[in-house]
Structure 1
Amino acid sequence: MKTPLGIIEGYFGRPWSWTERADLVALLARHGYGFYLYAPKADPFLRRRWDEPYPAEEAAQLRQFARHCRIHGVRFGIGLSPFEVYRDFNAAARQALTEKLAFFDSLGIDDLAILFDDMRGDTPDLAARQLEILDWIRGRSGASRLIVCPTYYSDDPVLDRVFGERPAHYLETLGDALPDSVDLFWTGEEVCSREISAGHLARVESLLKRKPLLWDNYPVNDGPRMSGHLHLRAFTGRNAAIGEHLAGHAINPALQPMLSAIPALTLAASYRQGNGYAYMEAFRKAAREVAGEELAVRLEQDLMALQDIGLDQLGEREERLRRHYGDVDHAVAREIIAWLDGTYRISGEAVQTQ
């Protein structure tokens, strides 16, 4: 069975333009990407100000982008983070949620994701409260697929340190109570997993009572540390055999949309080629398609500086990178120069407040 591939625009930091989103959808659709979830952390009307209506101009842009996805045969969805609404799901919250769901339906969304991540979770009856909200939403949304991101979406103990210790049997309770038609996001053994194995996913499938929908945090580079690196290498540590244990595989892209397309194309290649997949060969082919022959060669030469050494340690290498890309009229080159200029830097404050 073919593994559904998708994009989750779920990063912190500087949001993409609508043109950048449209270009990425058009490119990835040709390589089998079938769904796009709009959920940037910088959109306040999906997070901190979720209970406020969208301004008219932004609503029109969302509507136009939804049409663009449909034209390219890509399911369009939205990820809503009703921030800590489970602490007081009162009449005002229900009314605001009713109005927001109606707006989403007016866009013709295919997928609705309710995202309970990035908020406190150390509440004993957390699962029961979230299940109440999800049951209420299911009866009021016209989306054909409902996706849920649990507050604890990985085995990674960093979630317990940041958001409080996870309640006992939290995931089992969600998995037992949610209908089979509802998908659950999972990032793997870590928030940013180096490897995702079939054995791990089989255990998670048993825990959640369904195949997880993988939220793959590569090539995302948000955060104060990661924003100093460009994640360009091809996907590794994800053998095509994991597809048997997944409801779908969605990647959280980098802050640089066109550069994100390079690893995204290699993921599609890894599923297509199976055991024949070779990651550097896949990188070269993807880089040529996205950036052209000359830039692809330069990107391979500069991989270590861009991805491993990073912005803070470039030293004299920065001058070479500016020579390589500064005079090239291409989106890939412009993104690298903007990265060198610090345009994509993310502060700890941005992560805390978006």
Structure 2
Amino acid sequence: MIPELGIIEGFFGPPWSWEERRTVVAALQPHGYRFYLYAPKADAFLRRRWQEPHPDAELAEIATFAAFCRQAGVRFGVGLTPFELHLEPGGKLRHLIRAKLETLAPIGIDDLAILFDDMRGDIPDLAQRHAAIVDVAAGQGVASRILCCPSYYSDDPVLDRAFGQRPHLYLEDLGRLLDPTIEIMWTGEEVCSREISIGHLAKVAEQIGRRPFLWDNYPVNDGPRMSQHLHLRGVTGRPARIGPHIAAHGVNPALQPWLSLPPAVTLSMSYRAGDAYSYGAAWDEAAWSLFGDELARRLRADLLTFHDRGLDRIGPNRKAELRDIYSAFDHPAAREVIAWLAGAYDVSDEMVQTQ
């Protein structure tokens, strides 16, 4: 069973342009990608300034992109982070959520995700507060599918260190309180999971009372450490056998839209090939089709440097050499490599803390 595939634009750092978003939709739709969730951390009007309406020009851009997605047969969604609303008195919920969703409704939204990541969560009745917010949002009727990202969206203890100890039975309570039609997002055993296993998914499904909606943090490369790397390799650790155990598979892409495409295409290839999947051969096929023979060969030759070694371990002479090599290619993927070498995609701690 091949699950519904899609893109979750949910990374920190410099956002994509609207043209880059359209490029990604057009490139991945033929490979079975059927939803696009617009939730960039850089859009303050969906996060820290969420109670304010988007400026008219920005709202028009979102609406135009939503129409583009629907024309391509791709569901368009918005990820709203009602930042720290769960700390407010309950009486404010309906008014604040309704006011925000009224500004977004004219866009035409297929999927609405209420996201509780990146916020303090060490509150005993956290699940009850989150469920109440989602219930109000779902009741506005602006989208045909509602999703929820918990504050603790992984078993990874890094979340407890960053946002406080998770309440006892938080997931179980959230799953019990949310309507069973509402999808619950999950990244796996880690925030950036190396492997997604059937055993783990079965455990989570039992906790939340439904199959998890997989938010896959590969090939995302945001954050001060990860932005030093280009996550180019074909997907591994996501065997096709997990398909029946998830509600959908959403990919959080890299800061570089074109360089995100080969890993995303290999995910589709993995589901279709099953046990016959070979991640190296799949990457070659995907990169050749997207970039052409010469650029694909060059990227393949530099995979170890870009993916594993990282920008902060490439000396100035080698950077200059690589800039010269990739300047010879008239392709946006090559230009992304050059910009990365120049530090254009660096994500600072300040960005992560303020977006």
> After TM superposition, is the score higher than 0.5?
yes
> Distance between the aligned counterparts of 2:136 and 2:303, measured in 1?
48
Find the residue that maps to 1:30 and give its secondary structure.
Answer: helix
The 8 Å contact of residues 2 and 240 in structure 2, kept in 1 or not, is answered as no
Q: Is the 8 A contact 1:3 1:243 kept in 2?
A: yes
AA aligned opposite 1:44: A
Distance (whole Å) between structure 2 residues aligned to residue 70 and residue 89 of structure 1: 38
Aligned counterpart, 1:8: 8
1:52 corresponding residue in structure 2: 52
Contact 1:102–1:141 (CA under 8 A) maintained in structure 2:
no
Partner of residue 82, structure 1: 82
User: In 2, are the aligned partners of 1:36 and 1:76 still within 8 Å (CA)?
Assistant: yes
Size of the aligned set, in residue pairs, is: 354
Aligned AA (1:321) = L
What are the residue-to-residue correspondences of 1:115-194 with 2, within 5 Å? 115-194=115-194
317-326 or 234-243: which moved more?
A: 317-326
CA distance in 1, matches of 2:89, 2:329: 53
1:281-328 per-position Cα deviation (integer Å, ceiling 9, x unaligned) = 000011112211110000000000111111011124323321220122
1:63 aligns with 2:63: yes
Structure-2 residue corresponding to 1:294 = 294
**CA positional deviation for 1:177:** 1.6
For 2:29 and 2:224, the matched residues in 1 are separated by 31
RMSD: 1.1
CA distance in 2, matches of 1:306, 1:104: 39
Partner in structure 2 of residue 344 of structure 1: 345
Instruction: Tell me the alpha carbon deviations over residues 141-166 of structure 1, each in whole angstroms, 9 at most, x when there is no partner.
Output: 32000000000000000000000000
Distance 1:85 1:141 in 2: 20
1:329 corresponds to = 330
* Distance in 2 of aligned mates of 1:259 and 1:120: 33
Q: Is the 8 A contact 2:128 2:177 kept in 1?
A: no
Secondary structure in structure 2 of the residue aligned to 1:37: strand
Q: Equivalent residues in 2 for 1:273-312 (5 A)?
A: 273-312=273-312
Q: Which moved more, 1:239-248 or 1:86-95?
A: 86-95
Displacement of 1:90: 5.5
**Structure 1 match to 2:321:** 320
Partner of 1:225: 225
**Contact 1:198–1:242 (8 Å) recurs in 2:** yes
Structure 1 residue ranges without an equivalent (≥5) = none
**Structure 1 counterpart of 2:165, which letter?**
E
Compute the TM-score of the two structures, normalised by the length of structure 2: 0.98
Cα distance in 2 for partners of 1:228, 1:89 equals 41
Q: CA deviation at 1:102?
A: 1.7
Partners of 1:70 and 1:163 lie apart in 2 by 37
- C-alpha deviation, 1:184, in angstroms: 0.3
> Does the CA-based 8 Å contact 1:305-1:317 persist in structure 2?
no
Sequence identity percentage:
59
Q: Measure the CA separation in 1 of the matches of 2:325 and 2:281.
A: 22
Does structure 2 conserve the Cα–Cα contact (< 8 Å) formed by 1:8 and 1:39?
yes
Shift of 1:174: 0.7
Distance in 1 of aligned mates of 2:278 and 2:199:
22
* Corresponding residue of 1:197: 197
Mapped contact 1:8–1:37 kept (Cα < 8 A): yes
Query: 1:264 corresponds to which residue?
Result: 264
CA distance in 2: counterparts of 1:248 and 1:92, whole angstroms: 32
SS of 2:31 mapped into structure 1: coil
| Displacement of 1:95 | 2.9
Alignment of 1:19 with 2:19, yes or no, is yes
| TM-score normalised by length of structure 1 | 0.98
One-letter amino acid matched to 2:172: E
Distance 2:240 2:265 in 1: 14
Q: Distance in 2 between matches of 1:57 and 1:248?
A: 32
Give the match for residue 108 of structure 1. Answer: 108
Deviates more, 1:127-136 or 1:221-230: 127-136
Question: Can you list the C-alpha shifts for 1:108-138, whole angstroms capped at 9, x where unaligned?
Answer: 1100000000000000111111111111112
C-alpha separation between the residues in 2 aligned to 1:160 and 1:96?
Answer: 28
The residue type equivalent to 1:336 in the other structure is V
